[in-house]
């Protein structure tokens, strides 16, 4: 008898994941839990509306954790963020283009 298929962290993420009913439900639960507030702005003493839920471990890297609000360690996996804070994090991770360096060191 062939072995049962294992859930692999390397299994590809469904292309329709972000439009799925289950993701929309989990996303709403996370947003409601945090009152739709950006958690990075909140930590900086500002108040701004979260517009998306950020995966601390990217969903493409660990699809098995894509719907988990918390990691097995107890840390948050899904965090509500505003667009600007999300872009800042993704730029730091190298997933977005950052500021470009000047072509030369000359000052015109």
In this predicted model, what pLDDT tens digit does every residue of 1-49 receive, in sequence order?
433 334 444 457 788 999 999 999 999 999 999 999 999 999 999 999 9
41 in any annotated domain = yes
62 in any annotated domain = yes
40 in any annotated domain = yes
75 in any annotated domain = yes
- Domain encompassing residue 85: 17-93
Q: Supply the pTM of this predicted model.
A: 0.76
87 in any annotated domain = yes
Number of domains in the chain: 1
DSSP 10-69: TSPPPTTGGGSHHHHHHHHHHHHHTTTB-HHHHHTT---B--EEEESS-TTT-GGGTT-S
């Amino acid at each position: 008898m062939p072995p049962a298929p294992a859930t692999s962290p390397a299994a590809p993420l469904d292309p329709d994941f972000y439009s799925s009913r289950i993701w929309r439900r989990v996303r709403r639960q996370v947003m409601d839990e945090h009152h739709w507030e950006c958690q990075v702005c909140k930590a900086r003493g500002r108040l701004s509306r979260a517009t998306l839920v950020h995966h601390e471990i990217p969903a493409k890297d660990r699809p098995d954790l894509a719907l988990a609000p918390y990691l097995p360690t107890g840390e948050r996996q899904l965090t509500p963020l505003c667009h600007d804070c999300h872009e800042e994090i993704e730029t730091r991770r190298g997933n977005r283009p950052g500021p470009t360096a000047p072509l030369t060191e000359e000052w015109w």
